[in-house]
A and B are shown apart, each in its own frame.
Chain A
């Protein structure tokens, strides 16, 4: 994979997930969680900005590409759903991102992203334990979210070293055991995001996220 493609894939993951989380602003179940999700969204968008700046023109890359040109994982574009789905999506991604950024390149961006991802993982993981091992309803919702998102997890490890996968498995199994949740048995995996083949959800995200720059190209604050 060419370096600019590699940066773009990582930047798109961070931007799309950050945008998804920002959709919770004004809707989160607790004021404290509203702050937390907003903080995580800002961390991710900050990572995306740094990577886009290395890959080319930040605004052009974020606002002037169509869905088939985006290289993000299918996982991160999945809808927020209920709170359990947002937490499970964040947990599955952060369990990958936290070890991935350790010692990765570009070093300055990776160091910051590793530190932030470690907290994102802790935040989502602790929530997952409370949801899974909480009430009957929270358990049912968390398990449903896990079962629904599981098929998007395989894509994270395409062209990645095997130890990364092993580390992710270990984190997931340990947390699911604490959360009294069952690891899905299905091995069917969906992929295509890295080649620009996205679910229908990405188009809606871009329609909202890119509207201003599309309607008023070059607009600045």
Chain B
């Protein structure tokens, strides 16, 4: 089947209630409903999720890799809160 009949969709899965949907990959499908089914079959066979999103890949506006230097600052570690000692009880942040 051609790309126009089955365009690309980006797949996002919410692994557990309370977590954000996370990009996991993409599928080809004729429309949104079929994309959901394809995403279920391709990415959730091992109980990975509680919720699925599919988004037409064409709807994504991406930054230009050539503008990397303009858009993104060089690493400034002091801007990260990485100089605190976290108690173990806090767990994952």
A residues near B (Cβ < 8 Å) are: 29-33, 35-36, 39, 122-123, 126-127, 130, 134
Contact = CB atoms under 8 A, between A and B. Distances in A.
A141 to B, nearest CB: 13
Residue in A31, A33, A39, A134 with the greatest tally of chain B CB atoms within 10 Å: A33
Residue in A29, A32, A35 with the greatest tally of chain B CB atoms within 10 Å: A32
Nearest to A127: B34
Nearest to B39: A32
7 contacts: A30-B1, A30-B6, A32-B28, A32-B29, A123-B37, A130-B34, A134-B30
A33 B27 CA distance: 10
Nearest to B9: A32
B67 interface: no
B33 A32 contact: no
A30 B41 contact: no
Contacts of B33: 126
B45 A32 contact: no
Interface residues of B, number: 14
Contact of A39 (B28, B31, B41): B41
B1 A32 contact: no
A130 B38 CA distance: 14
Contacts of B27: 32
Contacts of B6: 30
Contacts of A130: 30-31, 34
Contacts of B34: 126-127, 130
A123 B37 CA distance: 7
Nearest to A38: B41
B42 A35 contact: yes
A35 B38 CA distance: 8
A127 B33 CA distance: 10
A36 B37 contact: yes
A30 B45 contact: no
Contact of B41 (A29, A35, A134): A35
A32 B30 contact: no
A134 B2 CA distance: 14
Contacts of B41: 32, 35-36, 39, 123
A29 B28 CA distance: 11
Contacts of B1: 29-30
A142 to B, nearest CB: 14
A35 B44 CA distance: 11
B28 A31 contact: yes
Given A32-B27, A32-B29, A39 B37 contact: no
A33 B38 CA distance: 7
